[in-house]
Homo-oligomer: A and B are copies of this chain.
Amino acid sequence: MSQFENVSVATKANVYFDGKCVSHDITLPDGTRKSVGVILPSTLTFATGAPEIMELVEGECAVTLPGATEPTTYRGGESFSVPGDSSFDIEVRETLHYVCHFG
């Protein structure tokens, strides 16, 4: 989807990895929290607390999920799921615009 409607959005962003990843938290009318963000071309390891679904709006990356031995390529329009309390390696090849769904 190209936009979320009727949400609240935090004016202060989350800045990770020296700005390689910037996101803003949003809250849906039913109280569900998500974030909308960007990851610049880089190779990073993200840790999860809650399980996450990363919905890719645009861009391309190679992701190595927990237990995987090979990376899988994902592009805009695709999603991948990450278990809670884990981590994943991501190589962003084209600037990634994403929505992160929690839980």
Could you tell me which A residues sit within 8 Å of B by CB distance?
A: 1-13, 15, 18-20, 22, 24, 26-27, 36-38, 40, 57-58, 95, 97, 99
Contacts and interface: CB of A to CB of B under 8 A. Distances in A.
Given A6-B6, A8-B7, A95-B19, A13 B40 contact: no
Given A12-B57, A13-B37, 11 more contacts: A1-B11, A3-B8, A3-B9, A4-B8, A7-B7, A9-B36, A15-B40, A19-B38, A19-B40, A22-B22, A22-B38
A5 B2 contact: no
Given A24-B36, A36-B24, A10 B3 contact: yes
When all copies of this chain in the complex are counted, the total is 2
